Amino acid sequence: MEDIQTFIDNHKKQAMAAIVAVCVLLLIVGVVKCSGGGNEGGLEQTEQEPEETNLVAYPGRTFDYKRKFNDLQSKQYAVASKIGLPRPPKDREDAASMRNKLVEVKTNRNYIVDDLTHSAPYLIPSAKKELDAIGEEWADILQRNGLPHYRFYVTSILRTQESIRHLQRSGNINSVTTSCHCYGTTFDLAYMRFDKVTRTSDYMHQDNLKLVLGQVLLNHQRAGKIYVKYEAKQSCFHITVRK
């Protein structure tokens, strides 16, 4: 009987030791997983996009875009051909030869340079400076009003004579041979597409974001910095810098 009891006690001890070993192993695995294998962020967290449940609005007054932004092509072309590139580039290679007069436009915290299938991302320095100023004022209005931060889209920039011919063949009615876009002074901003940056449940309707962008452009237009044409069919603001 004593040998049987000893056997049982020994068996219990072995079973308990095995349980303890398994618990220790699980604890070690858990610590390693939480540490992220050297991840500086510490505990692993799977971030989920917050659900957009709270519609917020810019408290600015609405206005007639078509009436306010009606600077015609002839007016914009006159200043573009005067202060922009000395001549319209024939193609991308020709445009590259003028790079000493141009500045590259890149996506940043305030705007996104769209997939430019018919233009190149270059502007003369004063036009690039104006585009950046529009972006900064845009961001400032959103921040001051406690609104989520969005980016707007730049959809067309420097065009060559070759790219204009391609646009004309595709049926774009606004693609004229004597385009302001050929002088590096002009860019288009979409008013129906925006990219949300702030991770929050607050969100804005595109019509309200259009109002913010329109207000910024109106301020710059009134200050004599830009000409603006509202292009309803292309869903964009067509902008030419004036200086």
Domain locations along the chain: 1-46, 62-241
Predicted local distance difference test score (pLDDT) of residue 138: 98
Predicted confidence at residue 170, as pLDDT, reads 61
Of the candidate CATH numbers 3.30.720, 3.30.410, 3.30.1450, 3.30.1380, the domain formed by 62-241 belongs to 3.30.1380
Report residues of the chain scoring pLDDT below 50: 1-2, 4, 6-8, 19-46
- Averaged confidence pLDDT in the chain: 83
- Rounded to 5 degrees, what are φ and ψ at 139? -65, -40
* β-bridge mates for residue 24, sequence order: none
Number of H helices, E strands in the chain: 7, 9
**CB 184 within 8 Å of CB 122:** yes
Position 31 scores a pLDDT of 37
Give CA–CA dist 135/137, Å, rounded: 6
- Return the C-alpha torsion angle 133, 136, 141, 142, nearest 10: 140
pTM attached to this predicted model: 0.77
Per-residue confidence (pLDDT) for residue 47, from 0 to 100 = 59
Termini Cα distance of the chain = 107
For 110, 147, 149, 197, 228, the CA distances from 49, given in Å and listed in that order, are 20, 17, 15, 11, 36
pLDDT value, residue 49: 74
Which bin fits 119, alpha (ψ -120 to 50), beta or left (φ > 0)? beta
Q: Which pLDDT value is given to residue 22?
A: 42
Quick one: pLDDT at residue 23?
46
CA dihedral 116, 119, 123, 129 (to 10 degrees): -30
Give whole-number Cα distances, 145 to 58, 121, 148, in Å: 7, 31, 9
Residue 17: the pLDDT is: 53
Q: Are 216 and 141 in contact (CB under 8 A)?
A: yes
